[in-house]
Amino acid sequence: MSGQLWRKNLINITPYVAGEQPKSDDIIKLNANENAYPPSPRVREILDSYKPEDMRRYPSADAGPLREALAKRAGLSVENVFVSNGSDDVLATAFRAFFNSDKPIVYPDITYSFYPVWCELLKIPSRTVPVGEDFHIDAKSLYGEGNGGVVFANPNAPTSLAESREFVRDVLEHNRDCIVIVDQTYVDFADKGIDCLDMINEYDNLLITHTFSKSRSMAGMRIGEAYGNAELIKYMLAVKDSYNSYPVNRLSIETGVASVQDEEYFQDTLKKIINTRQSTAEALKGLGFEVLDSSTNFLFAAHPKFGAKDIFEYLRDKGIYIRYFNKPRIDNYLRITIGTDDEMSQMIAQIKAFMGA
């Protein structure tokens, strides 16, 4: 019997659940918010010219070339930029670096579902605040002298909604004594007015996170970045070197730089996705859906007569994967990634068939 006592020491945690990864390529995959278009052609040039012998060498320990490219584009110093293996690793590093008091960190109850996983894993006390009936976040709900930190996604996931710069400033003004993380994974698809990078020069407790997985079509390369004052970035680098000594690999650094340097392709791709988002939202509204005003590369939609789970399962059987969340308040909503015009047309056609329209 004593041989089983080690089981008492196993971690007890509810894991993060990502969108289903289908085992066949013969599907329309609209469930993971991946980009519908390939990366910049300059990325292909790097891949075509890459020498296998280059893999013998370790990469830059701090992803220096990519940090420099990102800093130049943002008009910042390289000391203001942190790069790691996807934005999830960036956020996990920030949680380790900044949330070490006995005060709870605060985040909305409907948001990116990795936040509570990290809190549980890292033993960080936390509390959630409810979003409004319209799914927007009330800045006052994030106030508090007792906060050990604040984290929120803007635009938010899975709701697709964005809050204003004034909202972000309001939260910062009422949380001067703790770190505020603004997760801007989807900001490139939003109105330019909500980008808050310039605020890091004004608030030394602000950290902003981005990713290459969505707007830059590089989810498979696992690149994420954070922007903040030099002291915050220094602590993040120290934490990463202490617990995760595996830096971003050479190929990700080089292709990442190539992507950042191709601004024209980047903007053209964003325009395509935003235009398709608008036309798809109008098509869904024409079928009676309530569609939230998206600032992301996905739509959050519900129908008053047809259940979200039923639509989700019907589309899945037809080889079209979207996302359904069996959670309070959002269990009648569907999250639909914006694909190509053709993919979205096929989805709309299948929804019409389901509805008998």
Instruction: Give the CATH number of the domain where residue 154 resides.
Output: 3.40.640.10
Range of the domain at 251: 56-261
Residues 186 and 72 in one domain: yes
Residue finishing a domain among 242, 261, 280: 261
- The rounded mean pLDDT for the chain is 94
Per-residue pLDDT for 23 more than 70? no
Whether residues 67 and 208 share a domain: the answer is: yes
Kindly state whether residue 230 falls inside one of the protein's structural domains.
yes
CA distance 92 to 206: 16
In the predicted model, what is the mean pLDDT of residues 203-219?
97
Asked if 136 and 158 sit in the same domain, the reply is: yes
Which CATH number fits the domain that encloses residue 349?
A: 3.90.1150.10
Q: Could you tell me if 204 and 85 are in contact, meaning their C-beta atoms sit under 8 angstroms apart? A: no
Find the mean pLDDT for residues 9-20: 70
Nearest CA to 216 out of 52, 81, 87, 63 is that of 87
Mean pLDDT across 69-84: 97
Q: What is the pLDDT of residues 37-60, one digit of tens each?
A: 999 999 999 999 988 888 888 899
pLDDT(321) > 50: yes
Q: Let me know whether 123 and 239 are in one domain.
A: yes
Structure tokens at 103: 């005060």
Q: Name the pLDDT band for 8 (thresholds 50, 70, 90).
A: confident
Q: Residues 269, 212: one domain?
A: no
Q: What is the pLDDT of residue 1?
A: 47
In the chain, what percentage of residues exceed pLDDT 70? 96
How confident is the model over 87-128, as pLDDT tens digits?
999 999 999 999 999 999 999 999 998 899 999 989 999 999
Same domain as 99, residue 247: yes
Distance, in Å, from the CA atom of 9 to the CA atom of 12, rounded to the nearest integer, reads 9
Residues 311 and 169 in one domain: no
Is the pLDDT reported for residue 312 higher than 90? yes
Query: Do 35 and 64 share a structural domain?
Result: no
Read off the pLDDT band of 3 (50, 70, 90): low
Please tell me whether residues 273 and 134 are part of one structural domain: no
Q: What per-residue confidence (pLDDT) applies to 12?
A: 76
pLDDT in tens, 140-175: 999 988 999 999 999 999 999 999 999 999 999 999
Domain identity same for 163 and 69: yes
Which residues have C-beta within 8 Å of that of residue 120, sequence separation ≥ 6?
Answer: 13, 14
In a domain, 7, yes or no: no
DSSP-assigned beta bridge partners for residue 151: 181
Last residue of a domain, which of 232, 261, 290?
A: 261
Q: So what's the pLDDT on residue 119? A: 92
> Alpha carbon of 236 to those of 10, 92, 223, 304: distances in Å?
28, 10, 16, 46
Amino acid 180: pLDDT: 98
Per-residue pLDDT of 269-302, as tens digits, reads 999 999 999 999 999 999 999 999 999 999 999 9
Same domain, 26 and 135: no
User: Is the confidence at residue 2, as pLDDT, over 70?
Assistant: no
* Four-CA torsion 19, 21, 25, 26, nearest 10 degrees: -60
Candidates 304, 303, 298, 349; CA nearest to 323 is 298
- Whether residue 90 lies inside any domain: the answer is yes
* Cβ atoms of 125 and 102 closer than 8 Å: yes
pLDDT exceeds cutoff 90 at 197: yes
> Residue 290 falls within a domain, yes or no?
yes
What domain count does the chain have? 2
Domain identity same for 135 and 242 = yes
Per-residue pLDDT tens digits for 343-353:
999 999 999 99
- The whole-number pLDDT of residue 182 equals 98
The domain boundary residue, chosen from 221, 240, 261 = 261
